[in-house]
């Protein structure tokens, strides 16, 4: 009986609701009627930008790359720019528009491959649909607008096309791969964009002033490098340099842009500094269990300073994530920057009086598992050209663990991973190895294999595929 009453009332109200929707669709909140009356409250109004590039000067941040007769100009919209242009909050629905302009000066048509830029991209109609209102005529207006301003796949010979591409939302820094295919042509363009609208922890660091130039010590040989890295203390400390906190269990070496690019390619997110706004978001996420991809990290100290860069891979909840911290060392290897890092896995959160915000993350005490994850992740990034292990941490076990300042136990076999990054992509079969140490029970056998492989390369013989099996 109640359902019938509800159905009758709904059918009676539908014409009125539809009429209101039609009325709203023709109202502009920026204009009053001839009597000065604003649009009715609750009306759904769609008012996107009529001239996106003019209304929102996003192109000032655009970057351009060219190769083999193809040029690509790209820029990632901030959440604010996206809402101003499209008239709806796309970020709230996990959508991030990217503006592309592709020029083709060759004599043959080429194709933009959408799935290499984002395998889970949104079609124009799909992006519009996420902002639909029930039975509203403006829904069709959204469809028309999103389609009109989207970039098409086919770029004719001698032609130029531009428009928006609807990607999944990323905070802070976005990795963008643009692939163009044509007859006997395959061209890839890689971009990294810092997205306006969010403060990042590394932006508070002036890397040019961390050390004076004469404070850096440059090492040229592998043995010199090994000796200086093994001498680095095992753990982070208090701000005054005392105590032993989290393990320092890996090093990354190379051009800093190449290093960070490899992390971003593998899905690591940057981190926000601790502030009132980020603290409030973290507080809300803590109690709601929501995901917070750029959640701030507590300060951990090396060289009497907090981490220079924090990176994380968050799961669907703030309570779980892989996270790491990096500190620039006053050391260079063949002129390249050297960073020391600490990586661990957060498996949950708990209440504690040891922090001002009354909560802390619980870590997986098996730090070697987190280190192995990082090893496999970075080796598949294509950015690492040489890799190996050194010692430097007292080995420990569940029966005889280390403990950090939060009194959480952790254990390790004592090895630290060392990664050297290059400028060019490297496949696993091309990967080189330091013949120093190897984590795992068969370490001696692996090192002998690496030495034999290295000898074969020096003699010009084909290199056998190297075993990637740390632990």
Both tokens of 191, joined, read: 């971009």
Q: Looking at the chain, how many residues does it have?
A: 471
What is the predicted pLDDT for the residue at 16?
Answer: 40
Mean pLDDT of the region 72-93: 96
Residue 464, pLDDT above cutoff 80 = no
Both tokens of 408, joined, read: 């959480």
What is the predicted pLDDT for the residue at 290?
Answer: 72
What is the predicted pLDDT for the residue at 251?
Answer: 98
Residue 320, pLDDT above cutoff 90 = no
Report which DSSP code applies to 319: T
Mean pLDDT of the region 421-450: 86
Mean pLDDT of the region 426-452: 83
Q: pTM of the full predicted structure?
A: 0.79
CA distance 182 to 305: 51
CA distance 154 to 161: 9
- The percent of residues in the chain predicted with pLDDT above 70, rounded, is 81
CA distance 106 to 115: 23
What are the domain boundaries of the chain? 1-43, 52-194, 201-458
Mean pLDDT of the region 244-266: 95
CA distance 460 to 462: 7
CA distance 130 to 85: 16
Give the DSSP per-residue string, 135-201.
T-THHHHHHHHHHHTBPPSEE-TT-EEEEEEEEEP--SEEEEEEEEEETTEEEEEEEEEEPTT---G
CA distance 326 to 324: 7
- Please report which helix (H) or strand (E) contains residue 250, including its range: strand 250-254
pLDDT in tens, 355-404: 555 556 678 999 999 999 999 999 999 999 999 999 999 999 999 999 99
Q: Minimal CA–CA distance to 310: which of 330, 295, 332, 329?
A: 295
What is the predicted pLDDT for the residue at 294?
Answer: 79
Give me the residues paired with residue 99 across strands.
Answer: 75, 164
Residue 293, pLDDT above cutoff 90 = no
Q: Spell out the long-range contacts of 402-406 with Cβ–Cβ below 8 A and sequence spacing 24 or more.
A: 402/235, 402/244, 402/247, 404/244, 404/245, 404/246, 404/363, 405/238, 405/243, 405/245, 405/354, 406/352, 406/354, 406/360
CA distance 160 to 171: 30
What is the predicted pLDDT for the residue at 20?
Answer: 41
Both tokens of 273, joined, read: 């500094």
**445 vs 51, which has greater pLDDT?**
51
pLDDT in tens, 164-213: 999 999 999 999 999 999 998 899 999 999 999 888 888 899 999 999 99
Mean pLDDT score of the chain, rounded to an integer?
85
Q: Minimal CA–CA distance to 204: which of 270, 293, 295?
A: 270
Residue 22, pLDDT above cutoff 80 = no
Mean pLDDT of the region 297-316: 91
Buried-state track 364-379, b at ≥16 Cβ within 10 A, e below 16: bbebbebbbebbebbb
Correct CATH for 52-194 of 3.30.310, 2.30.30, 2.60.40, 3.30.200:
2.60.40
What is the predicted pLDDT for the residue at 38?
Answer: 40
């Amino acid at each position: 009986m109640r359902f019938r009453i509800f159905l009758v009332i709904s059918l009676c109200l539908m014409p009125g609701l539809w009429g209101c929707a039609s009325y709203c669709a023709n109202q502009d909140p920026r204009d009053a009627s001839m009597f000065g009356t604003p649009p009715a409250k609750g009306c759904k109004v769609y008012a996107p930008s009529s001239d996106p590039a003019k209304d929102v000067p996003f192109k000032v941040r655009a970057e351009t790359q060219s190769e083999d007769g193809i040029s690509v100009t790209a820029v990632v919209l901030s959440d604010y720019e996206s809402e101003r242009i499209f008239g709806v909050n796309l970020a709230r629905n996990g959508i991030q528009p990217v503006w592309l302009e592709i020029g083709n000066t060759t004599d043959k048509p080429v194709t933009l491959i959408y799935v290499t830029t984002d395998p889970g991209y949104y079609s124009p109609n799909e992006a519009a649909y996420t902002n639909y209102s029930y039975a509203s005529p403006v829904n069709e207006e959204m469809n028309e607008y999103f389609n009109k301003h989207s970039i098409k796949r086919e770029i004719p010979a001698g032609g130029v096309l531009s428009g928006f591409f609807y990607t999944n939302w990323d905070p802070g820094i976005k990795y963008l791969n643009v692939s163009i295919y044509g007859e006997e042509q395959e061209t890839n363009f890689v971009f990294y964009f810092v997205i306006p609208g969010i403060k990042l922890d590394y932006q508070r660091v002036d890397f040019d002033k961390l050390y004076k130039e004469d404070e850096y010590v440059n090492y040229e040989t592998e043995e010199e490098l090994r000796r200086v890295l093994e001498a680095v203390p095992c753990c982070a400390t208090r701000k005054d340099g005392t105590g032993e906190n989290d393990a320092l269990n890996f090093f990354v070496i190379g051009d800093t842009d190449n290093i960070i690019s490899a992390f971003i390619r593998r899905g690591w997110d940057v981190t926000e500094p601790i502030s009132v706004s980020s603290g409030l978001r973290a507080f809300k996420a803590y109690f709601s269990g929501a995901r917070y991809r750029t959640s701030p990290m507590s300060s951990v100290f090396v060289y009497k300073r907090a981490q220079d860069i924090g990176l994380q891979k968050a799961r669907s909840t703030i309570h779980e994530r892989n996270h790491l911290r990096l500190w620039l060392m006053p050391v260079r290897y063949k002129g390249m920057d050297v960073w020391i890092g600490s990586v661990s896995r957060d498996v949950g959160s708990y209440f504690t009086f040891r922090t001002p915000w009354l909560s802390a993350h619980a870590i997986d005490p098996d730090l070697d598992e987190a280190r192995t994850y990082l090893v496999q992740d970075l080796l598949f990034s294509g950015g690492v050209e040489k890799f190996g292990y050194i010692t430097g941490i007292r080995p420990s076990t569940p029966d005889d663990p280390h403990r950090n300042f939060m009194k959480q136990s952790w254990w390790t076999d004592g090895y630290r991973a060392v990664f050297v990054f290059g400028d060019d992509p490297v496949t696993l079969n091309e990967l080189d190895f330091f013949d120093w140490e190897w984590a795992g029970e068969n370490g001696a056998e692996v090192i002998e294999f690496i030495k034999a492989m290295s000898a074969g390369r020096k003699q010009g013989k084909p290199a056998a595929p190297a075993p990637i099996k740390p632990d």
